[in-house]
Amino acid sequence: MTVRKTLWELALAVMVTLAMLLAGCSGRGDQSATMNDDRLLVAASIAPLYDFSRQVGGERVRVELLVPPGSSPHTYELTPAQLQVLSKARVLVLNGVGLEFWADEAISAANNPDLIVVYTSQGLEIEEGDPDHGGGNPHVWLDPINAMHQVQSIRDALVQADPEGTAVYQANAEAYLAELEALDQEIRDKVATFSSRKFIAFHPAWIYFARRYGLEQAAVIETTPGREPSPAEVAEIVNTARAIGARAIFAEPQLSSKAAEVIAAESGAEVLFLNPLGDPPDFSYLDMMRYNLEQMAKALQ
């Protein structure tokens, strides 16, 4: 176990070195652009945290998104070029609760004493999750009130990394927190019009959202993201879908919707998509949550 871990760290260190050499040999234009760029380099693991970092950082920061569009954070592994970003970044914004399963190794391979690592879920009440994957459910950001806490953690980390920008970060954060508060109220108003409270989720991403707004994930298609349900599990979810009179089965753009299609066909429901991560190139969290709310309303209103 120890030997394996050491080998893995060695492999990461080699990848970082190779990536640095490659970057040195090619992309001169790119390199000079980076050299003239005196913005604070921030790396964010997932798209919502990328958006929060840009909202708070404004023009003082350059944010790199680590888990790219279309990928699931549960399965994506960092590339050597991304490890190289970590060796130069000042702030690394993570969700925590085991979502960034690569974090410890990547941080140690980056060998960057100036890197401030912020676990934005720290201090939040964590729901139970898959015992094989760290034990907690990581999807805290899908509750806008939790998102406000994450935005405040990012603000504090940016202030620590760049005290000269304190006033800017505080003002940006305050403005964005007000937008999140308005979003929360919008969701409350809409959910109040729902005739049903139970829904079938694709993977257990919506538990914090459900808890906040009095909804219930009646069943989950992939309890471990990327692992398709067995025929027996499919049959059970179909029964649940019929029992709650589900009009829709939710799929997600980052994971295969095949199982959702089968369950929807069997239970006479339609497939709708919820998006837990947002769309490129803007990844606007506010737009994403409004989209999700519309889809939920189609299924539950």
Residues numbered 232 to 261 that lie near Zn ion (CB under 5 A) are none
Among residues 170 and 224, whose Cβ is nearest to Zn ion?
224
The CB-nearest residue to Zn ion is 205
Among residues 19 and 205, whose Cβ is nearest to Zn ion?
205
- Strand ranges (E), 16-154: 40-44, 61-65, 91-94, 116-119
- First-to-last alpha carbon distance for the chain, in angstroms, is 52
Residue pair 292/275 in contact (Cβ under 8 Å)? The answer is yes
Residues numbered 70 to 129 that lie near Zn ion (CB under 5 A) are none
User: Taking the complex as a whole, how short is the minimal distance between the CB of residue 82 and Zn ion, in angstroms?
Assistant: 19
In angstroms, what CA-CA distances link 264 with 129, 198, 202, 256? 25, 15, 12, 14
Residue pair 209/143 in contact (Cβ under 8 Å)? The answer is yes
Among 205, 207, 210, 299, binds Zn ion (CB under 5 A): 205
Residue pair 151/180 in contact (Cβ under 8 Å)? The answer is yes
Going residue by residue from 163 to 202, which x/- string records binding to Zn ion, judged by CB under 5 A? Answer: ----------------------------------------
User: Taking the complex as a whole, how short is the minimal distance between the CB of residue 123 and Zn ion, in angstroms?
Assistant: 20
Among residues 176 and 208, whose Cβ is nearest to Zn ion?
208
User: Taking the complex as a whole, how short is the minimal distance between the CB of residue 204 and Zn ion, in angstroms?
Assistant: 7
Among residues 136 and 165, whose Cβ is nearest to Zn ion?
136
| Cα–Cα distance for residue pair 221/235, rounded to 1 Å | 11
Query: Taking the CB of residue 22, how many other CB atoms lie within 10 A of it?
Result: 13
Q: Does 67 bind Zn ion (CB under 5 A)?
A: no
Among residues 56 and 219, whose Cβ is nearest to Zn ion?
219
Tell me which residue has tokens 């404004």: 58
# of chain residues touching Zn ion (CB under 5 A): 1
User: Taking the complex as a whole, how short is the minimal distance between the CB of residue 205 and Zn ion, in angstroms?
Assistant: 4
- Strand ranges (E), 112-197: 116-119
Tell me which residue has tokens 């000042």: 90
Among residues 66 and 205, whose Cβ is nearest to Zn ion?
205
Q: Which stretch binds Zn ion (CB under 5 A): 2-10, 122-130, 187-195, 205-213?
A: 205-213
Query: Taking the CB of residue 281, how many other CB atoms lie within 10 A of it?
Result: 6
Among residues 173 and 220, whose Cβ is nearest to Zn ion?
220
User: Taking the complex as a whole, how short is the minimal distance between the CB of residue 6 and Zn ion, in angstroms?
Assistant: 30
User: Taking the complex as a whole, how short is the minimal distance between the CB of residue 127 and Zn ion, in angstroms?
Assistant: 12
Residue pair 213/186 in contact (Cβ under 8 Å)? The answer is no
Among residues 154 and 205, whose Cβ is nearest to Zn ion?
205
Rounded CA Rg of the chain: 21
User: Taking the complex as a whole, how short is the minimal distance between the CB of residue 73 and Zn ion, in angstroms?
Assistant: 6
DSSP annotation of 295 reads H
Which residues make up the interface to Zn ion (CB under 5 A)? 205
